[in-house]
Amino acid sequence: MAKAVQRDLRRMRATLRFREIGREQKSHYVAWFEPEHRIVEASASFFASLFADMPWSILTPDACAHWNGHAVLITPGIDKAEAPTDHRLEETWRRVCAGITRPLKK
């Protein structure tokens, strides 16, 4: 089970893509992810250090993590239908994330 959880953590770090919601000073970055295990809290510090200069939220069915630039807040999960779907920055995130992640071993 520990290997399965670690694999899920690596999958989240490698495939999570944020979308910008709002503009300029009111922008917020949101990502939807469906992990196989309850890993949101365990992975939140990774994303907080990687994207420390931007407010973001990671939304999942079990729990959500929110970063405001100072602290991570964990809230209850949401349904996928509630997650924002704005794709304006998809290509930017692909370039950024391609440079910081390694392919997953299967």
Residue 19 has pLDDT above 90, yes or no: no
**pLDDT per residue as tens digits for the range 57-98:** 999 999 999 999 999 999 999 888 887 765 554 554 455 555
Q: What is the pLDDT of residue 15?
A: 92
Q: What is the pLDDT of residue 105?
A: 47
Using the Cα atoms of residue 101, residue 14, residue 40 and residue 24 in order, give the sign of their dihedral.
positive
Residue ranges of domains in the chain: 2-98
DSSP H helical ranges for the chain? 2-15, 40-50, 90-98
Residues 6+ apart with CB under 8 A from 16: 31, 33, 47, 58, 97
